[in-house]
Amino acid sequence: MPVDEDQASGDQVAPRTQRGMVAFTTTQWSVVLEAQGESPVAQEALENLCRTYWRPVYSFVRRQGLGPEEAEDVTQGFFAQLLERKRLSVVRKEKGRLRSFLLGALKYFMADERRRATAIKRGRGQRLIPLEELRADERIDMEPADPVTAEMIYERRWALTILEHVLSRLKDEYRAVGNAALFDSLKQLLPDEPGSPSQADIAAQLGMTENALRQAFYRFRQRYQSLLREEIAHTVATPGDIEDELRHLIAVIEA
């Protein structure tokens, strides 16, 4: 999944929408931290974040040697406990990042379960997180078949989840105005897309001049970068964390 180096050096530090600047305090993770999970809005924000970012958690659990079904139970159990107990007081607001918080909380949860030596059942029957969306190829990717550490698998799945979500949102925007075909073509021009055709080839396919295609791709890339920052903003506590988290994401993807 592509991401550009120059995305980490932009001047924007807060999410934008097509209508302009959005107050950072409205992002999901900052809402959760400010309210410490006590308000309905914060609880809804936390549940939305969990539903979006469960794949890295499942990946980490699988790397511990658990089978698919047991890993699903552990993942569901972890999120059930997180949503029920709202154990967020351990997060320092000025350092709070959802990525780091989930990994730390997950390690504690699994260690605690091992200490008690009890089977994790609380997730059964409570399908809080849509694990059924896990594709067969994703299950294979998450198999513990190589020496990569669980933390590295978690980090990479985290980065890929963000980029996949950004592209999904961008595709929805293009589809909403009847430009789904244009999205599919422009997406091929992003970095690291395998077998990418040339701009001239795509322009010819779309019946556009190369100059018109360059302008369309410029707008596409600008919106992609804006959505990427907006998505990352939903997972950090302060605007100053966005650029650091973006640089971390780029480093993980390029590793």
Given this model, what pLDDT does residue 60 score? 92
- Which tokens belong to 165? 């979500």
**Which stretches in the chain have pLDDT values below 70?**
1-26, 35-38, 85-95, 115-148, 192-195
Q: Provide the number of structural domains found in the chain.
A: 1
**Structural domain harbouring 238:** 5-254
Distance CA 196, CA 118 (A): 51
Give the three-state DSSP class for 97: strand
pTM metric for this prediction: 0.71
Closest CA to 250 of 141, 163, 148, 153: 163
Given this model, what pLDDT does residue 7 score? 42
Given this model, what pLDDT does residue 238 score? 83
**What is the distance between the terminal CA atoms of the chain, rounded to a whole angstrom?**
13
Distance CA 114, CA 13 (A): 41
Q: H helices of the chain, where?
A: 28-35, 40-52, 54-63, 68-85, 98-116, 136-141, 150-176, 180-187, 199-206, 210-233, 241-254
Given this model, what pLDDT does residue 46 score? 83
The set of residues, in sequence order, having a beta carbon less than 8 Å from that of 78 and lying 6+ positions away, is 57, 61, 105, 106, 109, 110, 123
The set of residues, in sequence order, having a beta carbon less than 8 Å from that of 245 and lying 6+ positions away, is 97, 99, 232, 235, 236
Given this model, what pLDDT does residue 9 score? 39
Distance CA 224, CA 236 (A): 19
Distance CA 249, CA 178 (A): 31
Distance CA 149, CA 233 (A): 27
C-beta of residue 238 within 8 angstroms of C-beta of residue 24 = yes
